[in-house]
């Protein structure tokens, strides 16, 4: 699945609630308390209190509950006076008085949020406070909350739910919850039950929660405090139920101590999941633990025909809070395609905190069109954020029947042959409904396993072979019980075609290149991203490494220290050798996908693809990834890089301003000059990190490079005329 990183530099927060309470001193005309909820921050992260407005002044207090500083700017629309208050940090307060000589009609408040980690200030909200210099006397709020109750809700091993309620004339009630040395605070609407979950508790522990209810004027409820007693549960303290003792031929175990499980299984593939996977022990029993469970995959090293006599998929599940789990067997057809269907397991409230066994008939999947042949992955999906334990995951047949019937009509023949691939066409008939094929070749030997439906020809492609080489493939057929075909083995001879030549060797000067993948240049740090539907393999063509891909969708290269600045480059290049791929799209992501579509390819030869970067309309100083999209076929690729194809290696703006950067490569110093005045110079490395910022205000500057590491850099000139000019240089 495509996984693309997005940056949101501007967070816009709206006023969540504005409540007007009665002032506590009769000299004040008005008290306004405004809470600002900021995206990504805790609720009511900023509290602004305007506690006095009269004919001459306004008294303002701001409090921040976040770790980021806050700036406060108060603007008086009536007189034009402005006060900027200094920063306030976590749990801090600042107080300022704004004075005027002429009473305004209203006062406009602008609150600015300063993100230190990102730089700069952004206005979050502007609102007006009504002004009335002739307001009458104000009566203090002395009415305390009534009907205060606090009771226990759901208990788990690490949490206790408290159900709180009270009624107050102000419209809301504040609750302080104290246990041990910890005090927690929350707020609820008047006469509305508030559910508050205390987290981070210790299993099997008794707690006494003392709850106090007050209103905004600090009036306490008469029956304060109410003490709520609760004891956390023991959590997972027992092993899963012991499975029945089926014979080995009746079980394909994925994870269980009761059976011999298949070897080499990857229980935590990198699918971009939020789940934290681990294996724990309860007594002598190994158990899969999924914390923060959104989804989790399991990948098998073998491909199993679970339709061969298997009737059910079994799972044992233990959770305190999860309500449903979706189970997805994923099947592979050996030709670059996969299929999946799911069954939802509903976890009833009565089953929480206990082991629950589920036996899913495989007909629940086959009735949806899934063949259940070549099952090579299992995906489990939760509702998100819960902790769930799994054990005893296996396919099985509960019957006591012994299958003694071997496969018949076994055939194995050669199909399509390429320079590095041989297709085998396999078929056999078996009473179980499916057949397992074992293919052996080479001096190692190499042993491969696949499976097919009874009486249905199975196409299986053996990849990674050497061109112009004779191979002998020994194929055996058997069923899940181990009964072998009478004519085992069948030997299939095939000779691969002449090898694919290596990609063209690039001739662009290294000083003009920012390379991503290839043997010619030094590559930037990246990671290959399988967004969806790709099967990658590394091959050697003409003595150089290349990548083969069988794809049905898209993939990309993500820069390790993103974003990078490629504004000094003009083209994006890649060499493609398609065997069945007819067209593709290529481009970059700068927070969004920017691509050239409909790039047509000629089969069975190297295609040199160049995309002009200016046509992508991308922010070239903020490139996160290179992307390949709209793929459907097999191809090889090499030499992926950005480059500058200008004959001088500099841009049109550089020529217009007669910009010179010399020497290049440079050692200890470098001179930068231009026909027009240079305001400032910034030097960045190729991953976008700034290493120097210089104020110039001249037409020439000598730059000291001794404090910089050897490598390639981008120098950005900010010209007096507003133009930005980028060039690449090397320090050695």
Look at residue 50 and tell me whether its pLDDT is greater than 70: no
| The pLDDT of residue 479 | 86
For residues 395-419, give the mean pLDDT: 89
Higher pLDDT, 616 or 335: 616
Look at residue 57 and tell me whether its pLDDT is greater than 70: no
For residues 527-540, give the mean pLDDT: 88
Average pLDDT over all residues of the chain: 81
Residue 368 backbone zone (phi > 0: left; psi -120 to 50: alpha; other: beta): alpha
Q: How confident is the model at residue 116 (pLDDT cuts 50, 70, 90)?
A: very low
Highest mean pLDDT among 99-103, 404-408, 728-732: 404-408
CATH 2.60.40.10 residue window(s) in the chain: 146-231, 408-495
Look at residue 438 and tell me whether its pLDDT is greater than 90: yes
| The pLDDT of residue 123 | 42
SS3 280: strand
Q: What CATH number matches the domain at 510-643, 2.60.120.430, 3.40.50.2300, 3.40.1160.10, 3.30.460.20? A: 2.60.120.430
Cα separation of 149 and 225, whole Å?
Answer: 10
Cα separation of 565 and 555, whole Å?
Answer: 21
CATH 2.60.120.430 residue window(s) in the chain: 248-396, 510-643
HSE (CB half, 13 Å, CA atoms) of 276? 6
- Nearest alpha carbon to residue 382 among 291, 270, 279, 268: 291
The length of the chain is 732
Look at residue 180 and tell me whether its pLDDT is greater than 70: yes
Residue-wise pLDDT for 67-98, tens only, equals 555 555 555 544 555 555 555 444 455 555 55
Q: Tell me how far CA of residue 165 lies from CA of 170, 184, 193, 221, 426, in angstroms.
A: 14, 16, 5, 11, 70
Fold of 248-396: Jelly Rolls (2.60.120)
| The pLDDT of residue 103 | 52
Higher pLDDT, 25 or 676: 676
For residues 288-294, give the mean pLDDT: 94
For residues 407-426, give the mean pLDDT: 93
| The pLDDT of residue 39 | 45
- Nearest alpha carbon to residue 375 among 252, 528, 503, 242: 252
| The pLDDT of residue 404 | 86
| The pLDDT of residue 13 | 27
| The pLDDT of residue 659 | 79
For residues 411-435, give the mean pLDDT: 91
Share of the chain above pLDDT 90, in %: 45
Q: How confident is the model at residue 372 (pLDDT cuts 50, 70, 90)?
A: confident
- Kindly report which listed range (131-145, 543-557, 600-614) carries the lowest average pLDDT score: 131-145
The two structure tokens encoding residue 276: 């934290």
The two structure tokens encoding residue 668: 């200890």
Look at residue 587 and tell me whether its pLDDT is greater than 50: yes
Cα separation of 388 and 326, whole Å?
Answer: 13
Q: Tell me how far CA of residue 334 lies from CA of 297, 376, 720, in angstroms.
A: 19, 11, 61
CATH 2.60.40.3080 residue window(s) in the chain: 652-731
Cα 172 vs. chain centroid, distance in angstroms? Answer: 38
DSSP class per residue in 400-461: -----PPPEEEEEEEEEE-SS-EEEEEEEE-TTSEEEEEEEETTTTEEEEEEEETTS-EEEE
Please give the backbone phi and psi of residue 652, each rounded to the nearest 5 degrees, phi first: -60, -40
- Kindly report which listed range (342-346, 646-650, 709-713) carries the lowest average pLDDT score: 646-650
Residue-wise pLDDT for 221-259, tens only, equals 999 999 999 999 988 989 999 999 888 878 889 999 999
The two structure tokens encoding residue 454: 């009874």
Residues whose CB falls within 8 Å of the CB of residue 63, separated by 6 or more in sequence, listed in order: 46, 47, 49, 88, 91, 92, 93
Determine contact, residues 648/660, Cβ cutoff 8 Å.
no
Residue-wise pLDDT for 609-649, tens only, equals 999 999 999 999 899 999 999 999 999 999 999 998 875 44
Determine contact, residues 301/403, Cβ cutoff 8 Å.
no
The arrangement of secondary structure in 652-731, i.e. its CATH architecture, is Sandwich (2.60)
| The pLDDT of residue 214 | 96
- Kindly report which listed range (7-11, 53-57, 143-147, 312-316) carries the lowest average pLDDT score: 7-11
Look at residue 111 and tell me whether its pLDDT is greater than 70: no
- Nearest alpha carbon to residue 708 among 692, 728, 686: 692
Q: How confident is the model at residue 374 (pLDDT cuts 50, 70, 90)?
A: confident
Residue found by looking up tokens 């496969």 in the block: 407
Look at residue 675 and tell me whether its pLDDT is greater than 50: yes
Q: Check if CATH label 1.10.40.50 holds for domain 146-231.
A: no
| The pLDDT of residue 5 | 29
SS3 250: helix
Higher pLDDT, 124 or 482: 482
Please give the backbone phi and psi of residue 627, each rounded to the nearest 5 degrees, phi first: -125, 145
Look at residue 4 and tell me whether its pLDDT is greater than 50: no
Look at residue 355 and tell me whether its pLDDT is greater than 50: yes
| The pLDDT of residue 92 | 52
| The pLDDT of residue 512 | 87
Residues whose CB falls within 8 Å of the CB of residue 239, separated by 6 or more in sequence, listed in order: 282, 283, 284, 285, 287, 391
For residues 341-369, give the mean pLDDT: 92
For residues 500-518, give the mean pLDDT: 90
Determine contact, residues 394/298, Cβ cutoff 8 Å.
no
The dihedral formed by the CA atoms of 181, 187, 193 and 194, expressed in degrees to the nearest 10? -60
Q: Tell me how far CA of residue 300 lies from CA of 248, 379, 427, 438, 600, in angstroms.
A: 18, 12, 24, 16, 37
For residues 186-212, give the mean pLDDT: 94
Residues paired with 367 in a beta bridge: none
Residue found by looking up tokens 């409230």 in the block: 349
The two structure tokens encoding residue 294: 């959104």
Q: How confident is the model at residue 7 (pLDDT cuts 50, 70, 90)?
A: very low
Determine contact, residues 290/276, Cβ cutoff 8 Å.
yes
- Nearest alpha carbon to residue 155 among 234, 219, 85: 234
Q: How many C-beta atoms lie closer than 10 Å to residue 249's C-beta? A: 15
| The pLDDT of residue 371 | 80
DSSP class per residue in 631-660: --EEEEEEEEEEE---TTSS-HHHHHTT-E
CATH class of 15-130: mainly beta
Determine contact, residues 214/222, Cβ cutoff 8 Å.
no
For residues 563-581, give the mean pLDDT: 92
Cα separation of 411 and 209, whole Å?
Answer: 74
Highest mean pLDDT among 92-106, 399-413, 628-642: 628-642
| The pLDDT of residue 271 | 86
Q: What CATH number matches the domain at 408-495, 2.60.40.10, 2.70.70.10, 1.10.10.10, 3.40.50.410? A: 2.60.40.10
Q: How many C-beta atoms lie closer than 10 Å to residue 476's C-beta? A: 19
Look at residue 196 and tell me whether its pLDDT is greater than 90: yes
Residue 580 backbone zone (phi > 0: left; psi -120 to 50: alpha; other: beta): alpha
Please measure the distance between the N-terminal and C-terminal CA atoms of the chain and give it in whole angstroms. 41
Please give the backbone phi and psi of residue 250, each rounded to the nearest 5 degrees, phi first: -100, 0
SS (H, E, C) 165-226: EEECCCCEEEEEEEECCEEEEEEEECCCCEEEEECCCCCCCEEEEEEEEECCCCCECCCCCE
Highest mean pLDDT among 19-28, 101-110, 181-190: 181-190
Residue-wise pLDDT for 22-41, tens only, equals 222 333 344 444 544 444 44
Higher pLDDT, 306 or 630: 630
Q: How many C-beta atoms lie closer than 10 Å to residue 83's C-beta? A: 15
Q: Is the pTM of this model over 0.75?
A: no
DSSP class per residue in 345-389: EE--GGGTTSEEEEEEETHHHHTTT----SEEEEEEEEEEEEEEE
């Amino acid at each position: 699945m495509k996984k693309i990183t997005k940056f949101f530099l501007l967070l816009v927060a709206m006023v969540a609630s504005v409540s007007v309470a009665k002032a506590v001193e009769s000299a004040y005309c008005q008290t306004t308390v405004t809470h600002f909820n900021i995206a990504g921050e805790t609720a009511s992260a900023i509290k602004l209190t305007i506690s006095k407005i009269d004919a001459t002044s306004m008294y303002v207090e701001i409090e921040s509950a976040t770790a980021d500083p806050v700036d406060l700017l108060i603007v008086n629309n009536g007189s034009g006076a402005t006060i900027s208050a200094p920063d306030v940090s976590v749990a801090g307060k600042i107080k300022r008085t704004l004075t005027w000589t002429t009473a305004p009609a209203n006062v406009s408040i602008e609150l600015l949020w300063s993100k230190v980690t990102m730089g700069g200030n952004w206005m979050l909200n502007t609102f007006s406070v009504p002004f009335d210099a002739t307001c009458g006397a104000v009566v203090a709020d002395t009415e305390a909350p009534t009907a205060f109750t606090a009771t226990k809700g759901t208990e788990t091993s690490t949490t206790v739910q408290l159900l709180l309620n009270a009624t107050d004339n102000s419209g809301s009630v504040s609750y302080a919850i104290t246990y041990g040395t910890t005090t927690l605070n929350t707020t609820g609407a008047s006469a509305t039950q508030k559910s508050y979950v205390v987290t981070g508790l210790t299993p099997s522990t008794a707690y006494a929660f003392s709850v106090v209810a007050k209103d905004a004027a600090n009036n306490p409820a008469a029956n304060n405090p109410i003490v709520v007693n609760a004891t956390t549960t023991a959590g997972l303290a027992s092993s899963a139920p012991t499975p029945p003792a089926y014979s080995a031929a009746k079980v394909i175990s994925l994870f269980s101590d009761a059976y011999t499980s298949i070897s080499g299984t990857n229980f935590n593939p990198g699918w971009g999941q939020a789940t934290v996977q681990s294996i724990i022990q309860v007594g002598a029993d190994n158990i899969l633990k999924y914390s923060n469970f959104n989804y989790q995959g399991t990948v098998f090293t073998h491909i199993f025909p679970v339709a061969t006599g298997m009737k059910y998929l079994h799972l044992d599940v233990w959770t305190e809070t999860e309500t449903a789990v979706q189970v997805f067997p994923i099947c592979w057809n050996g030709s670059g395609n996969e299929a999946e269907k799911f069954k939802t397991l509903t976890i009833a409230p009565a089953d929480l905190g206990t082991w629950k066994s589920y036996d899913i008939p495989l007909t629940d999947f086959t009735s949806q069109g899934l063949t259940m042949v070549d099952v090579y992955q299992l995906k489990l999906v939760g509702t998100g954020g819960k902790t769930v334990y799994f054990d005893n995951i296996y396919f099985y047949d509960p019957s006591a029947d012994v299958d003694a019937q071997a496969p018949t009509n076994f055939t194995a023949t050669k199909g399509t042959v390429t320079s590095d691939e041989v297709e085998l066409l396999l078929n056999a008939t078996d009473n179980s409904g499916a057949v397992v094929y074992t293919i052996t070749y080479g001096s190692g030997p190499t042993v491969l396993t696949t499976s097919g439906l009874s009486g249905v020809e199975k196409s299986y492609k053996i990849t990674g072979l050497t061109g112009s080489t004779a191979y002998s493939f020994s194929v055996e057929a058997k069923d899940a019980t181990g009964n072998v075909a009478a004519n085992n083995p069948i030997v299939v001879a095939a000779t691969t075609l002449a090898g694919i030549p290596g990609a063209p060797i690039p001739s662009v000067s290294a000083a003009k290149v920012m390379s991503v993948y290839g043997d010619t240049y030094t590559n930037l740090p990246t990671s290959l991203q399988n967004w969806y539907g790709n099967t990658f393999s590394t091959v050697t063509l003409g003595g150089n490494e290349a990548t083969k891909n069988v794809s049905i969708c898209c993939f990309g290269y993500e820069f390790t220290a993103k974003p990078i600045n490629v504004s000094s480059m003009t083209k994006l290049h890649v060499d493609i050798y398609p065997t069945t791929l007819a067209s593709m799209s290529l481009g970059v992501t700068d927070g969004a996908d920017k691509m050239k579509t409909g790039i047509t390819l000629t089969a069975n030869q190297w295609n040199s693809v160049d995309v002009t970067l200016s046509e992508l309309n991308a922010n070239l100083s903020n490139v996160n990834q290179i992307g390949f999209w709209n793929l459907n076929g097999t191809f090889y690729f090499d030499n992926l890089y950005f480059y500058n194809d200008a004959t001088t290696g500099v841009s049109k703006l550089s020529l217009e301003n007669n910009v010179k950067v010399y020497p290049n490569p440079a050692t200890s110093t470098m001179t930068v000059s231009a026909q027009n005045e240079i305001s400032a110079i910034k030097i960045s490395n190729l991953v976008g990190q700034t290493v120097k910022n210089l104020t110039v205000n001249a037409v020439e500057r000598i730059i000291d490079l001794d404090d910089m590491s050897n490598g390639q850099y981008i120098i950005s000139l900010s010209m007096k005329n507003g133009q930005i000019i980028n060039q690449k240089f090397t320090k050695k």
